[in-house]
Structure 1
């Protein structure tokens, strides 16, 4: 009988909940390369032109945290104000769809913000230890 295959990287308790699937766990081969690629996917493409961000992944994580945080705040503000600002412009079904879209986007961005925090911490040398 063949030996059981090892669990996929990062899914064996090595990374905290909320760790992005696209990023290998700290210490794995090329983990920082996968972290940098994932962080660049979260920010505007123009950020790739900044040499300082390529040179210092910790700084890229900071930029990504700021960018995702701003998007999250925008989604929250939109959710709070869309009913008042567009009440006369949208039919009820469009308003409900808009509210649902803001909720989904807010949840996606909140998860991304948590993941950026985790990856940024790992880039700074923080290590997560699971609790028993």
Structure 2
């Protein structure tokens, strides 16, 4: 992992555009705001998560992973479980929604991974 964008602004693949590169002014504040946007709003009530961004990244990673698994399970099972209750076009639209959500959550999971690493002080070095 990297100094995720230290002085030169270089960040690893998957770095969220809403988060400034490490070393930039207020980068940790933008990381915390982004992480809180990924979790239920009730998480903001936990002082420990506001105080320790590394812990917030852990909670966000767990939450995003659970959502990704739910989207994958829904995608796999919706045809069988609701085929007799919904028209075909609704099933197809739901599958497309699961696919979009899965893509979004997979990107968020990668972002949490790299931002969490940066918060832990890990350094990313681009490979040639």
Q: Does TM, normalized by the shorter one, top 0.5?
A: yes
Which residue pairs with 2:86 in the alignment? 90
- 1:70-125 CA distance string (max 9 Å, x none): 00000000001100000001111111111111011001100100000000000000
Could you tell me how far 1:42 is from its partner in structure 2?
0.3
Whole-Å separation in 2 of the counterparts to 1:92 and 1:17 = 38
Counterpart-to-counterpart distance in 2, 1:80 and 1:13: 40
Distance apart, 1:13 and its partner CA? 6.1
Larger Rg: 1
Are residue 39 (structure 1) and residue 29 (structure 2) matched?
Answer: no
Normalised by the length of structure 1, the TM-score is 0.89
Q: What is the alpha-carbon distance in structure 1 between the residues aligned to residue 89 and residue 21 of structure 2?
A: 43
Match in the other structure for 1:25: 21
Q: Distance in 2 between matches of 1:13 and 1:67?
A: 28
TM-score (norm 2): 0.92
For structure 1, the 5+ residue unaligned runs are 1-8
1:100 corresponds to which residue? Answer: 96
Tell which has more relative contact order, 1 or 2 (C-alpha 8 A, sep 6+).
2
Q: Any conservation in 2 of the 1:13–1:130 contact (CA below 8 Å)? A: no
How do 1:1-132 and structure 2 match up within 5 A? Answer: 14-132=10-128
Q: Is the 8 A contact 2:20 2:30 kept in 1?
A: yes
Q: Count how many residue pairs are aligned between Structure 1 and Structure 2.
A: 123
Across the aligned residues of Structure 1 and Structure 2, the Cα RMSD in angstroms comes to: 1.4
